[in-house]
Amino acid sequence: MGEIKPPSGEPGAPAAAQREYLSDDPRDIGWVRQNVPCQTACPAGTNVPVYIREIIERQYGRSYETNREANVLPGVLGRICSRPCESQCRHGWAGNGEPVAICHLKRVASDLKDAGHRITERLYSPTGKRVAIVGAGPAGVSAAHDLSLLGHDVVIFEREERPGGMLRYGIPEFRLPRGTLDIEMHNALRLGVQMRTGAEIGNGAGQIPMSRLEAEFDAVLLATGCMAASPLPLQGEWEKRDLRGLEGVEYGLDFLVQMHRGVKKTVGRRVAVVGAGFTALDCARVAARLGAQEVTIHIRTAEEYIPVTQEEIFEAKREGVRIKGLRTPVGLTAEGNRLTGIEFVQNRLGGWRNSGRRQAIPIEGSEFHEPCDTIIIAIGQQTVNDFLGTKLELDRWGNVRVGVDGMTSHKGLFAAGDYVNGASTVVQAVGHGRLVAKRIDAWLMGRERRKQVVRIVPVEKPLRERAFDFIPRQHMPTAQLAERMKDGKHEVELGLDEKLAFEEAKRCYLCNLRYEIDVDRCIFCRACIEVAPRNCIKLVRGVEINEDGAYGKLLETKEWNQVGAIWIDNNECIRCGQCYTACPVQCISISRCELTEVEI
Neighbours of 391 (CB within 10 A): 9
Using rule CB under 8 A, residue 535 touches another protein: yes
- What is the C-alpha separation between 382 and 398, in angstroms, rounded? 8
By C-alpha distance, which of 276, 447, 430 is closest to 358?
276
By C-alpha distance, which of 473, 428, 470, 477 is closest to 111?
477
Positions 249 through 278 that interact with another protein (CB under 8 A): none
Which three-class secondary structure state does DSSP give residue 105? helix
Q: Of the candidates 24, 525, 546, 553, which one interacts with another protein according to CB under 8 A?
A: 525
Task: Rank residues 256 and 565 by Cβ distance to another protein and give the closer one.
Answer: 565
Task: Rank residues 318 and 489 by Cβ distance to another protein and give the closer one.
Answer: 318
> Vertex 177, ends 43 and 221: CA angle to 5°?
45
Say which DSSP state 167 is in: H
Positions 578 through 597 that interact with another protein (CB under 8 A): 578, 582, 584-585, 589, 591
Q: Of the candidates 237, 242, 304, 335, which one interacts with another protein according to CB under 8 A?
A: 304
The answer to whether 269 touches 376, Cβ cutoff 8 Å, is no
Task: Rank residues 123 and 363 by Cβ distance to another protein and give the closer one.
Answer: 363
Using rule CB under 8 A, residue 5 touches another protein: no
CB of 220 to another protein, least distance (A): 43
Rounded to the nearest 10°, the torsion over CA 266, 268, 272, 274 is -30
Using rule CB under 8 A, residue 487 touches another protein: no
- Region near another protein per CB under 8 A, out of 17-25, 33-41, 51-59, 144-152: 17-25
Using rule CB under 8 A, residue 516 touches another protein: yes
Q: What are phi and psi of 570, to 5 degrees?
A: -65, -15
By C-alpha distance, which of 462, 455, 556, 461 is closest to 509?
462
- Region near another protein per CB under 8 A, out of 24-32, 128-136, 168-176, 422-430: 24-32
- What is the C-alpha separation between 392 and 410, in angstroms, rounded? 7
Residues 6+ apart with CB under 8 A from 260: 168, 169, 170
Using rule CB under 8 A, residue 470 touches another protein: yes
Using rule CB under 8 A, residue 119 touches another protein: no
Positions 363 through 392 that interact with another protein (CB under 8 A): 363, 365-366, 368
Which three-class secondary structure state does DSSP give residue 101? coil
Site string for another protein, 305-324 (x = CB under 8 A): ---------x--xxxx----
Task: Rank residues 19 and 261 by Cβ distance to another protein and give the closer one.
Answer: 19
CB of 586 to another protein, least distance (A): 9
Site string for another protein, 78-107 (x = CB under 8 A): ----------------xx------------
Using rule CB under 8 A, residue 490 touches another protein: no
Say which DSSP state 468 is in: G
Positions 439 through 468 that interact with another protein (CB under 8 A): 456-458, 460, 465-467
Task: Rank residues 303 and 503 by Cβ distance to another protein and give the closer one.
Answer: 303
The CA-atom distances, in angstroms, between 453 and each of 23, 38, 445 are 6, 18, 21
By C-alpha distance, which of 498, 572, 473 is closest to 528?
572
Using rule CB under 8 A, residue 60 touches another protein: no
